[in-house]
Structure 1
């Protein structure tokens, strides 16, 4: 299922803001990570209706992805 592009853009901004607050990142840093994440690709492609998940859930998914990518540092 695909979502309305305008609604997706609003969803992205809320998720990015939530992720930035959780991690203590600037919005620019959170934005950059989000648009290079697997989570973004899943939402964008409509996989498993990820766009229907709550903003907090998606921010937690980003947090886990960030932790996995930065484990060795």
Structure 2
């Protein structure tokens, strides 16, 4: 249970950083995060992606956001 809580706290930090980087609301950032490849890699603990630093993961999320931004705006 502690590991799940720690991972959820990490998600919150990443989403907060990402929202600031992308200049979007926290709710939009959270919605994007839970539909992202970054979240999938973290939640499934693929290649220890969940062990990377918060800023690194927020940057990865930002790269993904930029590449999907047009698709995301239409949904």
TM-score by shorter chain over 0.5: yes
Q: Tell me the C-alpha RMSD between the 2 structures.
A: 1.7
Q: How many residues align?
A: 71
Displacement over 6 Å in runs of 4+: none
User: Which of the pair is proportionally richer in helix?
Assistant: 2
Equivalent in the alignment of 1:48:
47
1:10-51 deviation digits (Å, cap 9, x = unpaired): 000000000001111110000000000000000000011111
- 1:4 matched to 2:3? The reply is yes
Structure 2 gap segments, 5+ residues each: none
Greater length-normalized contact order (CA 8 Å, ≥ 6 residues apart): 1
Equivalent in the alignment of 1:69:
68
Scaled by the length of structure 1, the TM-score of the pair is: 0.89
